[in-house]
Amino acid sequence: MEKFVAKDELNDVIYYIGYSDILHYEKFVFFIRGTGRVDASHDFGMGAEASLFGYSLVYPQKSYLDNEREYFIHDNRQQRMHDNKIVIEDLIKKGAKKILLLADSEGTMLAPEMAVEYSNYICGLVCMGGSISTFEENLLYTVSNKKGIFTNTEDLGILTNKISEIYSDPDNVNKEFLGHSYKFWISYLKYNHSSDLKKLSCPILYINGENDDLDIMKQIIDIQKMQKNGINIEQIVYPGIGHQMKAEREKLSKDILDWAVRNKIID
């Protein structure tokens, strides 16, 4: 594992590259992690199987990890998009020609837009535990169906009021909801994954747990519609599994590799 620093006028972004025996600069698996103030080392090893096929593995570090308050202030979709784009630009300077995006949870709400912006380099997109509906739609579904932390009948009214309050005060980094600032929430609530997915020609794979706090049936139907419209998108749903799929790590790796072989991402 080697440490690199990508620089721009706003802030330096740290990232790590892992590889099997030779550091390849032409083909990368770029991991976009989920939520949380967690060091990139937590993700080392994700996608490691691709190193056997000549891919180097990239793990971007989130900004402001060493300062809890600064991290809270800057934790939003715009900051994360900025950091990841700076790293991708640095990889392109180093000679990147093929980049496979491997996104987890919150990272799946960044990856489709990144894939569109760097479509000349993106050879595939894998989203684990992600939805193609907006964050707002998923929150309302979760509350309406009393899933996850939302188990009380009054939660729907509380949530709709909270969403209205967030929309009326979108830049507030002092008020929080479920551990994140209003600015964090507003940055994700309306992002339309489907709009970006429909612009992509690269292969797309969504992997979900049957018991995730998403409308899985709606997701299956929406993806089937996209397939009928010529989008190269597939979905795998693991029965009896929730949002976290760590218990299925071996199966997850095999399914992603099989998909990558079928789509000639690896050979």
pLDDT in tens, 200-227: 999 999 999 888 888 888 899 999 999 9
pLDDT at 246: 67
Q: How confident is the model at residue 153 (pLDDT cuts 50, 70, 90)?
A: low
- Res. 247 pLDDT band, cuts 50 70 90: low
Considering only residues 9 and 119, tell me which one the structure prediction assigns the higher pLDDT. Answer: 119
The percentage of the chain sitting over the pLDDT mark of 70, rounded to a whole number, equals 99
pLDDT tens sequence across 157-204: 888 899 999 999 999 999 999 899 999 999 999 888 989 999 999 999
Q: Give ranges for CATH 3.40.50.1820 in the chain.
A: 2-132+192-262
CATH number of 2-132+192-262: 3.40.50.1820
Distance, CA of 73 to CA of 62 (rounded, Å)? 13
Q: What is the pLDDT of residues 29-81, one digit of tens each?
A: 999 999 889 999 999 988 888 888 889 999 999 999 999 999 999 999 999 99
Locate the DSSP E strands across the chain: 2-6, 13-18, 27-32, 56-60, 98-104, 122-128, 176-177, 180-181, 204-209, 233-238
Q: Are 69 and 176 in contact (CB under 8 A)?
A: no
Spatial distance between the Cα atoms of 230 and 110, rounded to a whole number of angstroms: 23
126 pLDDT higher than 70? yes
Contacts of 233 (CB under 8 A, 6+ apart): 197, 203, 204, 205, 206, 223, 226, 227
Q: How confident is the model at residue 127 (pLDDT cuts 50, 70, 90)?
A: very high
Whether 121 has a pLDDT exceeding 90, the answer reads yes
**How high is the pLDDT of residue 180?**
94
User: What residues are paired with 176 via a beta bridge?
Assistant: 181
Average pLDDT for the chain: 91
